[in-house]
Structure 1
């Protein structure tokens, strides 16, 4: 017989029993408790040493810590009211309460013949992946809609999240949709995509229908980039149950949109209950436009000596596409620094080009700056006036004092006339395109 001392080596925490007494040729099985501090693989060894002979032996193993997996689902509000055939919105929050990243399959249960949309950033979702701890939750949008003719009352709905790696990790939350006697439907006509040029007005027909069982009045509004520029005529409608009315939706010219597709929204809201509303949208595509504006800053300057004078040539991309412009200047007798021959600007961007001119002599000079992109061009004219100094001589009479006063007053009057002449000599250049 002999007594064996046990010891462990490795990263995880290993709890071993005390010395083990063994009879000759005997075998025994002992419990060993092993735990890892964080998810991941941990290797360890258990070694035995005989107290009597010093003989040793050992073996190794690997502990895989998978971490805790847990998920939570919450629907807010727990109860929401809405109209018949009108959307009822909720927020679904899915939270990873575990210690490792996990993916979840999402499912929604609504009453028979109801429809729903579960989206993240307006994109439909059926699942998601969440990290633990920081950024471990996601808010999803859930919109449920009853069928036309549904009876008023409360209807149950639920959302479930199930771990795709461990089906026993799941959570479900329940909510209630309360249908009232109200309801509304709105539709933009035509449903086909509209194409506009920048600066074009838009026009659509919008049909509003009372889906409820009582009469109601609805306010109409838009959303998105078109909201400040959209007008409904009329902007409120009063309808009996089941009745419809078509109204006009117009948008004023928009110059700022880029060459891409935007959504035009129309929203109808019950005057009786603001939670009862419906919305529709249609795509509107703006075509590409190339344009440019050129301006000198300042447009004119007056100096009284022959010196270098600086101006700013402002080039603005007034189109909605990135555009490359050829830049040219016509300076006449003026010496001018070389300005860039080509410049590329993003849509609605501008560039300020420093231009310094040197006049050869006193006088009035005009010069031009031009930007061109294909068949599109714009130019502006600036003015530089170099005023020649006015020399005024004052003379006194031969006898001194008697003749000096009239001559002095005459000199001052001449100075005033010279200043007036310089003021009216300045000329402004009118910019034309």
Structure 2
């Protein structure tokens, strides 16, 4: 497949080498998602991150032992050095195999590429091999009670004392903090600084007395998100990525990595969810409702559009990729959850097992209500596009 465009068209043809690689990863997944790993298929998705965590950790380490961890990283940093086309194929085949959600996404897809781009040789040597081997698990310390999508309002502070950064503040909506042993934290390190000035990007160990983690109980009955309190937490002076006070550009780099090739795999997962809904509609007769039929067709069309946009984004044609992509997939997926409940009908109102065990579609619906909020709210994305692309006047800020 050539991910390039001529005018408004994107060339979607596959080369023989692409097809050979697809067959390689497809066969490997088929033969390895067997035995003790067979039961992990489909586990650990959104709203179900608690499922078989230790077993999925073992699976991730199995991937790493066979060279299927951090596949996009350059070979000189321990990765597989896959081309962009091969990365797309890997993520698509992983999703098509219904392989379990990986537990090291934040390290592999976010922090690792950030360290490769901005980290010191010492930081790379210390942390990259442990991410590849799935020995360290990371979480992201960005959002705060008063700084959700607006990172320029970060209030968590850090100061240097005796060769240590001393950190005080609170983070919220921190995904998987309860399973992570490290956190990359945005903190204000220059007294009196405002907005994006004076922020630093710190690497902070979670297993210490100055860190308290409080899980947030969600509608799904699980706690993927957490509050994290730093009260005199410490990290070494050299564990700042980039220059002290220059963390804004590093943080923006991380956000760019967040919405890369793996979003195409996300769409394959969406396709699987849509198929579950269609199968249910056929089995319970909802497929005969013209309104349901229309919504299913609209969902199919929307999913095709998401894929085409994703490939076009990878071709480099879009200048504001992250915001546009988020505005496309988040409301589509939220609508998919609503479609699931419409197809399920009255059975959606009762849990499958007491006291609160949700089925797959109930978890999809409840978790997807937050899609337009986390990872940068839709309102913020629209402001970014309006101000930075369309050149409209900036929103009034108090």
Q: TM-score, normalised by structure 1?
A: 0.19
Q: Which has the higher contact order (CA 8 A, sep 6+)?
A: 2
Q: Which has the larger radius of gyration?
A: 1
